Amino acid sequence: MTKPKGRVTLPSEEGFVEETKELMQRWGADAIRDSDGTRLDAEIKSLDAKIYTAYFPTRGHNEFIGQHMEECPQIYLMSDFSLARTDELVIDLLHSYYKEQLDVDYLHDPKRYWQVMDRTSGELVPVENWEVRKTENKVVIQHAAPWHEYTVSFLAYIKWDPVQMYNHITNNWGDKPHEIPFDVKQPHSNVFILDTMKQWLRDNPEVDVVRFTTFFYQFSLVFNQYGKEKFVDWFGYGASVSVAMIEDFRKEKGYALTAEDFVDQGYYNSSFRVPTKAYLEYVDFVSAFVSVETKRLVDLVHQSGKEAIMFLGDQWIGVEPYGPYFESTGLDAVVGSVGDGTTLRMISDIPHVKYTEGRFLPYFFPDVFYEGNDPVLEARENWITARRAILRKPIDRMGYGGYLSLAYKFPAFVDYVEKITDEFRDIHGHILQTKPYSGLKVAVLNCWGALRTWQAFTVAHSLYSKQAYSYYGILESLSGMSVDVQFISFEDVLGKGVDPSIDVIINAGDVHTAFSGGEVWKNTRLIELLREWVYSGGGLIGVGEPSAVSHHGRFFQLADCFGVDKELGFSLSTDKYFSKVTEGHFITDNITEFHFGESMNNVYALHDGVSILEYSNGEIHLAANQAGEGRAVYIAGLPYTPQNSRLLMRSLYYAAGKEADLQRWYADNPSCEVHAYPESGTYAIVNNSHDPQSTIVYDGEGSTSAVQLEAGGILWKKM
Amino acid sequence: MTKPKGRVTLPSEEGFVEETKELMQRWGADAIRDSDGTRLDAEIKSLDAKIYTAYFPTRGHNEFIGQHMEECPQIYLMSDFSLARTDELVIDLLHSYYKEQLDVDYLHDPKRYWQVMDRTSGELVPVENWEVRKTENKVVIQHAAPWHEYTVSFLAYIKWDPVQMYNHITNNWGDKPHEIPFDVKQPHSNVFILDTMKQWLRDNPEVDVVRFTTFFYQFSLVFNQYGKEKFVDWFGYGASVSVAMIEDFRKEKGYALTAEDFVDQGYYNSSFRVPTKAYLEYVDFVSAFVSVETKRLVDLVHQSGKEAIMFLGDQWIGVEPYGPYFESTGLDAVVGSVGDGTTLRMISDIPHVKYTEGRFLPYFFPDVFYEGNDPVLEARENWITARRAILRKPIDRMGYGGYLSLAYKFPAFVDYVEKITDEFRDIHGHILQTKPYSGLKVAVLNCWGALRTWQAFTVAHSLYSKQAYSYYGILESLSGMSVDVQFISFEDVLGKGVDPSIDVIINAGDVHTAFSGGEVWKNTRLIELLREWVYSGGGLIGVGEPSAVSHHGRFFQLADCFGVDKELGFSLSTDKYFSKVTEGHFITDNITEFHFGESMNNVYALHDGVSILEYSNGEIHLAANQAGEGRAVYIAGLPYTPQNSRLLMRSLYYAAGKEADLQRWYADNPSCEVHAYPESGTYAIVNNSHDPQSTIVYDGEGSTSAVQLEAGGILWKKM
């Protein structure tokens, strides 16, 4: 019997031909790639597979950039908060920065491009009141206000590629040279990047796919004085800055960006910050520029008869896959790291590419592949969480990264990957590119909208965050739920109203974050549009502090819809009578234990018409309310668990007023889910847990049947 | 042996002479009082005791006020939030109010005195866009913005005295007439109050002490449509309002108060709200007026040879015992209900009176004195908590209220009160009016300052509040701690700087409340003064969200002092490395379990110099930091427990840099405390628990001794 093959990319390395062949066969791989730290030799490249080769357009050429250090990428940095105790204050610019990574930019006039801020008053310090001491990397402020704190925002050069730096330090690469990055915006670099690409394409005829890792601008990754990570923002545009970039911006937009536009009080425009107009315009400006430069490289790749894949990470800044310029890049594909269902959907939903590819975990690195550890555990968890999302919108290919020789030493892991690569192809074989059944259309509403599709509530790519996991669970639940999901912004609603095809809108997050919305909730037009929509029959789900801003007696500006508000301490004198839990409610049917994660305190019901669904510690954590013809549900927090995913699903159907539709293509056991593909006449029943499960399955016709599933099992049935 | 006698007030009632005599003897009472619902007959009044008689200046004369219903007290009320679905909206003014209590005021022009607010936009609705339907108690808004919420703020008359209403409903007084209150501001009432007092003094020569219960304006107590409490604010000036009052205010201050000045978005100027300038000026204006009217009655009392006591409660509004006009009233004494140590100190610290009296719990009412219940439990808890505060600053007298005949049926209770009245006199016998030893001077800093001495964090007099108990515990701890306590306002600091005799300043509360401070933390002068003071050696303690307002990269504006700040979600991209707990720190010495109450989430250390003293759930709840020559301590919450009181005490001594002084007059067992009276050469060791305790006692000379104390015991020693 010939094993099915395809849709799988294998990492390989020099001198590992026979084992590569064996694993190609077992995992059905039809492509081979190199990784950061490995290279493919001629023998490997001659195997019967597409050859992917990582390409780094902006690093790995110290001989070039060493001659043009003024073309290193730049970044605006903020000094430490420094307290003035007299009227003179000396601030050490790089005190808490890693000097191996960063140099202060003295080439451009500090008085023009830097800012000294009085962070106590919030005022800009006049340039005549401070001087730079170049040799010491210090700024001296005169006429300081004693007992005020000051910061200096300054331009720095990034002289060590942050990704290589990270790998270098993490893997103890010792005296391996530091790769110096260069900036495509600069004249020599721009020419060099293009010329080097041309030459490389000529030199590497055996490469089928150029795996851009990545393009031009690194997400923000800055180390501290101890050589440890200081801040990392996967969405940060900080390192795309340069004097050239901001001067061009000024010419095009008609206003100058200041240091504070980037430093943002030290928050550096985290995606949790409500984005300013200037920052959004800067993101757009950089994206437009990057897409043009990207297209030039992609065109070269195409001219040489190869494909161009982008890795979604590292220097991905400006290549926004959900942005307006992405289509114009002409990229053939995107490959990204799959951390869970959410990150899988972030990859698989990317429009305008021929295919998408997920790089699964664990990465074949010694941090996981060491004696005594079982890499299958991470692989299994990764697969099970990703599979939910694959069943909704599959990536086209899967793969791995790192040292294949390391993985090869773990036979159980090799076996497990064989199993899931087979399963992955089998899923494709059933779905046949058709759309899965969706019972509802759900929109996640925040400041970012579509640009950050499947990217909300993300601090670091699929990593746990105490402050985010209780919201991120919403995305993780939705990523594998039989509903259509879209991400909309407040601007979308203000501009076009609510798309009438939407069944339920979700607003979630902590107050004043971009995901909750902050001050936008004082916008009366927004309130009017949303209230009209809800009262006319729309569904609304709020998690945490939805629609929150303290304004005229309300904290939740849509408290009338939710039927609950949060006590901030101002209305403690008003009696709060309502605490009786509504039994037998549709949302909580068969749900008895709740897990609201970080949860939310001091939420109370406004009136006795509110269905309180969970009440403990003197506060409400789950409630439903009728608002005109519409319905709203409040949830204190929703970390991902199968149970919470089910709770959200029930809440969605309830809010939409479509309770009767819930049990179409449905499994009553929350650890199981049913995905139906009407166009291909098939449906899958999956067990998302690591234990055997039994469940009643409801098919789309109203029939039920009892089904047993093995741990992590998937069962395909014909309609 | 003659029992010691004095300092105790006994409630009595008609036809209960012999038992009264017996209890007078056993409890050593030297005064007898009546209560709401009881009266003293001639035989009782002839006993060898001072006779207190309750006097109600503004109620109990329906025959008078029935002729002048336009002189009932008024209050500004806000209608329910009402949603406009078209451009016409009808709002039912009294929908959620108790119609037995309240009438809408149509005597004064609604267009002049009412306000219709668009609560969605925050805008005032022009008077031409709304009309009143008197007969229906409704307001009709035209040209409403659909999907906006509106409220009407209107003037109402209070036609049922709220205290009598409360007692009437609580005790099922059936068809007992509703007492109609009247307003001293109004012409007929003003004359009537004075004349009635004169006549009453003539009619009651046997009365020694007039117990004013109370004066003119009831704290806010409003019932809802079901005859249940809707809101109650023990500090609320709402029911002092009248057209006459606001017109006089306008004449004196030069500006008109609006309905919104009272309604305050529906928060009604709760003492948790940062008070507006207008509200503070109104409080001052009413207080000045009330003190003049009070003095007139007090003068009459004095002219008749009697004493005038004020009950601290009910209609106490405007008679601010810690305000600037109190001394001018000439009151001889204040009596108040003792709920705990804090409320005891609120009474005992009142200046300018000859004596203070505490009315202890339980009140002799059937809600506690019923068969099967043991009233000793409440009495014991009440005494033990109050005694800590008595040992710092004793009330001069103690007493009870209610039906003596009811208490008499509980012999164990009678025994227990005999014990504590003896103990109370014994305390006075030892203290001999001298000042106790204080190791530190502590200032509680908030928006209210001295005006709300021992009244911070109070929702309802000594009642539990989920949102307040984690802060109220600070006061309760301080009330019985061997430190001097004062309450200062931000205005005090801004006006006079920090009093150099202060060792430690405490700022505590939830962000944007009057106790934390809100926007005042953007005042650079305040920051400068406090930082200079701390860095020069001052001690600072922050609880909850101290110095909090989101401003230029900081949430805690004194984060530099505390060494910690709270993550709001904006700096999640910045690594937070510090979590290592400092072992063996002075503050946590011998403290291993922590109870932060509602606690605070997401607090993190700014640098590795911070002493993290408790870290759990990925966040800091207790930390100490050196700031220049000064020190700051952060605590996530501090509900009252003996252990937390000790934690606060250690934090105070640490922050003050006076660790070496802690163990002067000190008991190492947190359930025990030592109070020393150097001027009378004595000290007390008290057991604040209901179990026997042993402790090492440190005297002021550095000697230690082991001491055993019985449950709730007190042991006096000579120095």
Identify residue A498 by its one-letter amino acid code. V
Tens digit of each residue's pLDDT (9 = 90 or more) over B431-450: 999 999 999 999 999 999 99
Residues B293-339 have pLDDT tens digits of 999 999 999 999 999 999 999 999 999 999 999 999 999 999 999 99
- Residue B167 is predicted with a pLDDT of 85
**Percent of chain B residues past pLDDT 90, beyond the cut:** 94
- CA angle (B8, B14, B15) in 5-degree steps: 105
> Among candidates A293, A419, A318, which has minimal Cα distance to A27?
A419
Contact A554 B81 (CB under 8 A): yes
Nearest CA in chain B to A603: B467
pLDDT tens by residue, A141-150: 999 999 999 9
The whole-model pTM stands at: 0.97
Selected residue with higher pLDDT from A169 and A144: A144
Name B659's Cβ contacts closer than 8 Å, sequence gap at least 6.
B586, B653
The neighbouring-strand residues paired with A667 are A697
List the structure tokens of B690.
């209901």
State mean pLDDT over B235-257.
97
Q: Does B566 touch chain A (CB under 8 A)?
A: no
Cβ atoms < 10 Å from Cβ of B142 = 12
Q: What is the mean pLDDT of residues A658-681?
A: 96
Report the pLDDT averaged over residues A437-456.
Answer: 97
Residue of A570, A619, A626 to mutate, interface with B, max B Cβ within 10 Å: A570
Question: Following DSSP, what letter does each residue of B386-452 receive, concatenated?
Answer: HHHHHHHS--SEEE--B-HHHHHT-HHHHHHHHHHHHHHHHHHHHHTTPPPP-S-EEEEEESSGGGG
Nearest to A149 among B465, B560, B619 (CB): B560
Q: Determine the pLDDT at residue A2.
A: 59
Handedness of CA A28, A33, A37, A43 (dihedral sign): positive
Would you please indicate which residues of A are annotated as catalytic (active-site) residues?
314
Confidence of residue B701 (pLDDT cuts 50, 70, 90): confident
Contact A553 B266 (CB under 8 A): yes
A-proximal residues of B, 55-84, CB under 8 Å: 81, 83
Question: Which residue type does A354 have?
Answer: K
**How much is the pLDDT for A700?**
86
CA dihedral (B279, B281, B286, B288) in degrees, to 10, reads 160
Chain A touched by B508 (CB under 8 Å): no
- The CA distance from A665 to A697, in Å, is 7
Residues 6+ apart with CB under 8 A from B112: none
Decide if A74 contacts A155 (C-beta within 8 A).
yes
Q: Would you tell me how many other CB atoms lie within 10 Å of the CB of residue A661? A: 13
Least Cα separation, residue A17 to chain B (angstroms): 42
Tokens representing B475 are 């006061």
d(CA B479, CA B348): 11
Residues in chain A: 719
Strand ranges, E, within B644-692: 666-667, 672-677, 682-687
Q: How far is B392 from chain A (nearest CA, A)?
A: 30
Nearest C-alpha in B relative to A556? B120
Is A569 close to B512, i.e. CB distance below 8 A?
yes
Contacts of A528 in chain B (CB under 8 A): 120, 145-148
- CB-nearest partner of A618 from B466, B535, B552: B466
The B residues from 266 to 285 touching A (CB cutoff 8 Å) are 266-268, 270, 272-273
**Region A410-438: what's the mean pLDDT?**
96
Residue A1 has pLDDT above 80, yes or no: no
Is residue A572 pLDDT above 60, yes or no? Answer: yes
> Which residues does B387 contact at the CB level (< 8 Å), separation at least 6?
B423, B427, B480, B686, B688, B714
A38: closest CA of chain B, how far (Å): 30
Nearest in space to A125 (alpha carbons), one of A89, A94, A97: A89
Shortest Cα–Cα distance, B570 to chain A (Å): 6
* Cβ B59 vs Cβ B314: under 8 Å: no
Tokens 């730290």 belong to residue: A37
- Residues of B within 8 A of A145 (CB-CB) are 524, 528
**Got the DSSP string for A563-609?**
SEEE--SSSTTB-----PBPTT-TTTTT------TT---SEEESSTT
Which residues in chain A (449-478) have CB-CB distances under 8 A to chain B?
Answer: 459-460, 465-468
Amino acid at B116: V
pLDDT of residue B1: 46
Q: Which of B183, B314, B332, B565 is catalytic?
A: B314
Residue B391 pLDDT > 70, yes or no? yes
Cα–Cα distance for residue pair A200/A560, rounded to 1 Å: 62
B528 contact residues in A (CB cutoff 8 A) = 120, 145-148
Mean residue pLDDT of chain B comes to 96
How many whole angstroms separate alpha carbon A683 and alpha carbon A674? 7
As a whole number of angstroms, the distance between CA B694 and CA B668 comes to: 9
Q: What is the pLDDT of residue A462?
A: 75
Q: Return the bridge partners of B604, or none.
A: B565
Residues B25 and B44: beta-carbon distance below 8 Å: no
Q: What is the residue type of B568?
A: L
> What 3-state DSSP class applies to A450?
helix
**pLDDT level of residue A529 (50, 70, 90 thresholds):** very high
Cβ–Cβ gap A466/B532 under 8 Å: no
Report yes or no: A560 at the B interface, CB cutoff 8 Å.
yes
| Residue A85 at interface with chain B, using a CB cutoff of 8 Å | yes
Calpha distance A534→A443 (Å, rounded): 13
Q: How far apart are CA B709 and CA B686, in angstroms?
A: 8
Chain A residues near residue B526 by CB distance under 8 angstroms: none
Q: Give the model confidence (pLDDT) of A81-99 as tens digits.
A: 999 999 999 999 999 999 9
Picking from B553, B557, B618, the nearest residue to A266 by CB comes out as B553
Q: Which of residues 657-676 of B touch A (CB under 8 A)?
A: none
DSSP category for residue B268:
T
Confidence of residue B2 (pLDDT cuts 50, 70, 90): low
Return mean pLDDT, chain A: 96
B175 touches chain A (CB under 8 A): no
Whether residue B172 is predicted with pLDDT greater than 50 in this model: the reply is yes
Angle at A360 between CA A359 and CA A363, to 5 degrees: 95
Per residue in A475-514, pLDDT (tens digit) is 999 999 999 999 999 999 999 999 999 999 999 999 999 9
Q: Tell me, rounded to whole angstroms, the distance of Cα B630 from its chain centroid.
A: 31
Measure the CA–CA gap between B579 and B577, rounded to whole angstroms. Answer: 6
What CA–CA distances, in Å, run from A211 to A50, A183, A328, A335?
12, 19, 18, 8
Partner-chain contact A466 B602, CB within 8 Å: yes
